[in-house]
Amino acid sequence: MQYDRIIKNGIVILESGEVRTDVAIKNGKIAAIAPDLNGAHEVIDAQGLIVSPGMVDVHVHISEPGGIRCEWEGYVTGTKACAKGGVTTFVEMPLNQLPATTCGDTLRQKYAAGEGKLYVDVASFGGLVPYNLTNGGIEAQVKEGVTAFKCFMATCGDPTLEGDFANVNDYALWEGMRQIAKTGKLLAIHAENAAITDMLGKQAKDRGETRVSQYVATRPIFTEVEAIRRAIFFAKQTGCRIHICHVACPEGVEEVIKARQEGIDVTCETCIHYLYFTTDELDAIGPLAKCSPPIRDKQAQDGLWKYLFSGHIITAVSDHSPCTYEMKNKTNAFDAWGGISGVQNNVDIFFDEAVQKRGMSLKQFADIIAKNPAERYNLPTKGSIQIGKDADIIFIKPQSSYVVRAEDLEYRNKFSPYVGRQINAQVVRTLLRGETVYNLTTGIESTPKGSFIRR
């Protein structure tokens, strides 16, 4: 046979737009795109389905190797959730695991921890922290194959844990940008003003405040905007390419727009949960919906949708950041872990909210979940259905309603703020390099087929 398998009868999202055509796969690659293809060992009937490139999620946390955090999320559970949710590639953050990924040795430890456990493909962030600027840590991570780097301007990490991540001060941010600029890699930045948000949080807790909405008030929009503006200014001084993570307010996007007009190489993302939830829902949900930057009000959400449709936000990510239930189940939201588990349902939610409810074109949908992040993070074999690229393909059934149930989640800790929500679209099959890794009827394939991507 000429091909391993052919996809027929579906609406296929190509870089030029959607079309009803056949897609042939050979040796894990897309081999042909044309009507009436024949000569395959297997024919996949996609009648009634949208055939889309798999999601490239550039913001996912896995906690392996984990140390005392080993119960948060592992490679098996996290990548199974991705396969089930239509995420065929993700870029793994350098923190939450212990030791954090900040040098060549810790990166090798991470690769070893994931060996034989990956159900999807995984690229890696290297960490920029104050303690790896004078020991060759940046260059060592480049040699070990990181796709990009990540730093925190907001407070993070536990200084009592050896090897944990740490946020940068202004000097470390500037010097780190200088070093990363020489490598040509991208620096992704968690941009919030640490000093102000830390003090506002302490003051609120001292007043006896406990609710999630009160936590949101301690991280006002200006603390996000100021940090974005500062990061952009440092990027202008150093020539470092930067990407602003999880922008939660339109004012933050506007800083990126202005900088791009000045020729600065900066992009930004938002998160699915910012596009789905609003602040007035949070107290009813509780700390399961606590994250930073926080979920903001309807006006902010509307502004994010506006800039997503206009192309100024290049992608929408999960920022999947799990922990144990005990760390979320707190009566005081200020004591709870800040992070949302959502990677398994994000493609479904985004298709429903963007395409079905707001009229986004299928081409723009695929650009946002796949093409744009693959291009920005230099993943040339990923991101689109195109001859010669990896056959990472998902099949979405529109107008297919289901309710998110905890028992259906593949996460190590089966909770999410999306539990109980009705979603009206569903990934029914996932191919990774041409091989089925998930099917709604038969479940997740038993043998892991994913691998680490080293750039």
Query: pLDDT tens digits, residue range 214-228?
Result: 999 999 999 999 999
Q: What is the pLDDT of residue 329?
A: 96
Residues 254/255/260/265 CA torsion (nearest 10 deg): -130
DSSP state letter for 404:
-
Bridge-partner residues for 13, per DSSP?
Answer: 18
- Alpha carbons 410 and 388: distance in angstroms, whole number: 31
Q: What is the pLDDT of residue 59?
A: 98
What pLDDT score was predicted for residue 67?
Answer: 87
Alpha carbons 370 and 316: distance in angstroms, whole number: 10
> What local confidence, expressed as pLDDT, does residue 66 receive?
87
Instruction: Give the pairing of strands 186-190 and 148-152.
Output: parallel
Q: What percent of the chain has pLDDT over 90?
A: 99
Q: Give the Cα-Cα-Cα angle 100, 103, 107 (nearest 5 degrees).
A: 65
pLDDT for 292-328, tens place per residue?
A: 999 999 999 999 999 999 999 999 999 999 999 999 9
Calculate mean pLDDT across residues 360-379: 98
Q: Give CA angle at 437 (45, 348), nearest 5°.
A: 75
Beta bridge partners of 269: 315
Give the residue-averaged pLDDT of 235-245. Answer: 98
Q: How many angstroms separate the Cα of 3 from the Cα of each of 10, 200, 273, 297, 351?
A: 18, 60, 40, 50, 30
Can you tell me the distance from the alpha carbon of 165 to that of 122, in angstroms, rounded to the nearest whole number? 20
pLDDT tens-place string over residues 72-104: 999 999 999 999 999 999 999 999 999 999 999
pLDDT digits (tens, 9 = 90+) for 31-78: 999 999 999 999 999 999 999 999 999 999 999 998 899 999 999 999
DSSP 3-state of 207: coil
pLDDT tens, position by position, 321-369: 999 999 999 999 999 999 999 999 999 999 999 999 999 999 999 999 9
- Give Cβ neighbours of residue 263 (< 8 Å, ≥ 6 apart): none
Q: How far apart are CA 371 and CA 311, in angstroms?
A: 13
Q: Is 162 exposed, middle or buried (0-12, 13-18, 19+ CB in 10 A)?
A: exposed
CA distances from 148 to 22, 428, 453 (A): 35, 31, 12
Residues 6+ away with beta carbon under 8 Å from 136: none
The pLDDT tens digits of the residues spanning 118-162 come to 999 999 999 999 999 999 999 999 999 999 999 999 999 999 999
Strand partners, 402: 423
Residue 1 pLDDT = 86
The CB density around residue 229, as the number of other CB atoms within 10 Å, is 18
